[in-house]
Amino acid sequence: MTASPESIAAGLALLATIAAYALFSGADFGGGIWDLLAGSSKRGAAPRAAIDASLTPVWEGNHVWIIFGLVLLWTAFPAACSRLRRCWRRSF
Amino acid sequence: MPQAAQVSAWFTPTALMTGALFVAACAYVSSVYLIGDSRRRGEPEMVRYFSRRAIISGVVTGAFASGNLILLHGSAPFVFHRLIGPALPLVALSIAAGLATLVLVALQRLMLV
């Protein structure tokens, strides 16, 4: 089986999207992890202020990547998407 | 497949290790960005603080990634063989970039003191 140039291009776009999601939204989640682990409110005040200052302007905006990735998945690979959704539904 | 087997698929060693890997990787990426932001804001104390956490979470992420690869060999050989087959250049790039970032973080931490 050989993939068409279109599906290779869509696959590369999907790879880039997943990488962007991991790098940008991953950093959102990571900020929450370091906030959680910063310790008592006195000891953790400075790192929490730094995390707030860095994340407040971008918080949640980075999740645009997973939305774009899902749209790419069901537009370019509908069969794989339906298969994944069926597995997902059956797991619960 | 029975419902119980479906749910237990979320609690296999590979599934748990993949989850732990994702949490560690998020912490690592975030601490590296926070080093850069703290430096731009002129807060050397916070640069030191997040450098220390970046090195720790980077080492933990590397350990979880290696552990995951070993687990995949047993539990999902089709994924393992693609990772060391067609995807090997990307795996190598990931290892090289992870190590280079760790070295750079360690170096700038040394120069700060």
Element (H, E) at B29: helix B13-40
The answer to pTM > 0.90 is: no
Task: Answer whether A35 touches B (CB < 8 Å).
Answer: no
Residues B57-98 have pLDDT tens digits of: 999 999 999 999 999 999 999 999 999 999 999 999 999 999
Residues B15-59 have pLDDT tens digits of: 999 999 999 999 999 999 999 999 999 999 999 999 999 999 999
Counted across chains A and B, CB pairs separated by less than 8 A come out at 60
Is pLDDT at A92 greater than 70 in this prediction?
Answer: no
Which ipTM value was assigned to this complex? Answer: 0.85
Burial of B29 (0-12, 13-18, 19+ CB in 10 A): buried
Residues A6-49 have pLDDT tens digits of: 989 999 999 999 999 999 999 999 999 999 999 898 999 999 99
State the best of B7, B8, B29, B32 to mutate against chain A, taking most chain A CBs within 10 Å. Answer: B29
pLDDT of B2 reads: 55
